[in-house]
Chains A and B, each alone.
Chain A
Amino acid sequence: MGELSEEKLKDLEVKANKIRQLIIEMLVEAGSGHSAGPLGMADIFTAFYFHILNHDPKNPDMPDRDRLILSNGHIVPVRYATMALAGYFPIEELKTLRKINSRLQGHPHAASLPGLETTSGPLGEGLSQAIGIALAAKLDGKKFQVYCITSDGEHQEGNTWEAIMFAGKYKVNIINVIDRNNIQIDGNTENIMPLEPLKEKYEAFNWHVVEVDGNDIKAFIEAVEEAKKIIDKPVFILTNTVPGKGVSFMENDYTWHGKPPTKEEAEKAMTELKQLATSG
């Protein structure tokens, strides 16, 4: 991870805005998919692909690359948009999302597109897979970092807690970044099935916890830097994000969890995002 200069940070913020625009364009073209989660996570994906990760878009299978495991596969449009912008595949291909003969499956399928690492969509399985990858790396004495992105909603899955328990027991060197946006498809998480106090729960399972604003790129990068220094425990980065971030009528509204914008809504969203880009 290099130094984060003022110019670099400015560039990352421009990229995050561009990624949000690509997400809107993809979703309206696809006619189905999830809006709020991908928009909320654009800053974190930008930070990962353009600053944090050791990776090579032209060599996605590079053996010593850092691993970024996306557990909540339904937010994959943000990963596709970020990967395209980073040079993994042509930006034009984003328009094939969810269409027949596309490499961009509605939920990510590892074998379909180089660079995805794992297959996900059914919730609660990514953290376990990330743990498995970290265990294999440890057996082979490899030093790359394994990151996992999980949603808050999938912390209602038993499998997620099985994985949290396992990582605490085996002191797995792993960083789990939660997209704590407080919404899920049926409503707000604390109404559907309360998750709090998440920080204390992780600590009780023998994890180190760092809390940060997930829409503040600089703060998030600093949180990852802190997390990487912890080597005797798994680390949980509790990132508070705004679902639908950047599009006023989508922000913090759970009804945008699982639907795409209409053509008119997409135009409105694009206008807002372009305004943010010039004003910011």
Chain B
Amino acid sequence: MLNPHLNLSPKIFDQDVEKKATRDGFGKALVELGEANKDVVVLTGDLSESTRTDGFAKKFPERFFECGVAEQNMAAIAAGLSEGGKIPFISSYATFSPGKNWETIRTTIIYNQANVKIAGHHAGIMTGPDGATHQATEDIAITRPWPGIIVFVPCDAVEAKKTTIEAGRIKGPVYLRYSRDKSPIITTEETPFESGKVQTFWTSESPQVSIFATGYILYHALLAAKELEEEGIKTLVLNVATIKPADEKGILSAVKETGAVVTVEDHQVAGGLGGLIAEILAKNMPAPIEFIGLQDTFAESGKPDELIEKYGMGKNSIKEAVKKVISRK
């Protein structure tokens, strides 16, 4: 059942569940941050509307910098602004930033622990019809190894707003991962956001498998958990909104309870959430694990739901992975 202590949305499993894009939560939070702190500045690379920085730009034009299609310049200017005491948010598609400008971020932001927030949008294959060029499916893998960075992947628009506000509070570099399309609202304003902690969204008595999910695709894991329970298979579903620093304690404690793991992410399984959980388990508590995500391939154009189905990330694939991992116990 849904964890009764987290004030999750009671409408999660309804047909008419409310849907919003995580990027909308980002845009709203930016305006709030701008109002609360005059040092917050925003930069974009010709993507103000689609990365939702336009609201901030309208309200605080003197603190908004349109960099044009030049992501390396945007990142290094942000490093300079941070050196000058500002709190810059840079915003683009994740394939371009932190993709195209990866080394610029590494040298000028991460190595200096600059107070820059990197917002990577259009993450995952759910970016849809734009095709694989614009679907960021390696961004967790390329940001996670950076020393000193914090990586947030919110599961819905409500949590996206909270992670953005939290990023503004943190002193130092933060990577924020957002998705393009609308996805179901899972949490509520009252759901506590705990930076650096995994949260159990679905609980069972004597669970057999721990399902770790990150981002909007957590919804599909919850759908799977509900149907599995009806079939008599008990699971835990954990929301991993903070990829780094990893909540080793929370992750190990959930695996100790079940002894088997399924990871779920809209990202390459190598280097992402699956890689992270595997690293932690291998070091502390080896257990069978199945990986849901992009399996060493690029996706293609299509509707998000079609792509999630074709590339094996949906409810049915998660259910199969749970059954498979139980058989490996």
A residues sitting closer than 8 Å to B (CB atoms) are 109-111, 117-122, 124-126, 128-137, 139-140, 158-159, 162-163, 165-166, 170
Contacts and interface: CB of A to CB of B under 8 A. Distances in A.
A162 B70 contact: yes
Nearest to B73: A162
Given A135-B80, A162-B73, 17 more contacts: A110-B112, A111-B113, A118-B79, A118-B80, A118-B112, A119-B108, A119-B111, A121-B107, A128-B73, A129-B77, A132-B88, A135-B77, A136-B84, A139-B62, A139-B84, A159-B70, A166-B73
Contacts of A134: 80
Q: Which of B68, B72, B80, B82 counts the most A-chain CB atoms under 10 A from its CB?
A: B80
B81 interface: yes
Nearest to B76: A128
B76 A132 contact: yes
A121 B70 CA distance: 20
A166 B70 contact: yes
B68 A165 contact: yes
Contacts of B73: 128, 159, 162-163, 165-166
A136 B81 contact: yes
Chain B contact-residue range equals: 20 to 34
B180 interface: no
Contact of B84 (A109, A135, A166): A135
Interface in B47-69: 62-63, 65, 67-68
10 contacts: A111-B112, A122-B107, A128-B79, A129-B79, A129-B108, A133-B83, A134-B80, A139-B41, A165-B68, A166-B73
A120 B79 CA distance: 12
Q: Which of A109, A124, A129, A158 counts the most B-chain CB atoms under 10 A from its CB?
A: A129
Contacts of A131: 77, 80
A163 B70 CA distance: 9
A132 B77 CA distance: 4
A125 B72 contact: yes
Nearest to A158: B72
B78 interface: yes
B83 A159 contact: no
Contact of A130 (B41, B62, B80): B80
Shortest Cβ-Cβ A-B pairs, 10 listed: A132-B80, A136-B84, A128-B76, A162-B73, A162-B70, A129-B80, A132-B77, A132-B81, A159-B72, A133-B80
A125 B41 CA distance: 20
B83 A117 contact: yes
A122 B103 CA distance: 8
B72 A140 contact: no
A230 to B, nearest CB: 21
B244 interface: no
B72 A132 contact: no
A121 B86 CA distance: 24
Contacts of B104: 122, 125, 128, 159
A222 to B, nearest CB: 28
B85 interface: yes
A125 B70 contact: no
A139 B68 CA distance: 20
Contacts of A120: 107
A119 B107 CA distance: 7
Contacts of A124: 72
Contacts of B78: 132
Nearest to A133: B80
A132 B83 contact: yes
B67 A166 contact: yes
A158 B69 CA distance: 12
Contacts of A121: 107
B77 A166 contact: yes
Nearest to A125: B76
Nearest to B75: A128
A129 B83 contact: yes
A136 B83 contact: yes
Interface string B206-223: 000000000000000000
Nearest to B110: A119
A226 B267 CA distance: 54
A110 B112 CA distance: 7
Nearest to B79: A129
Contacts of A135: 65, 77, 80-81, 84
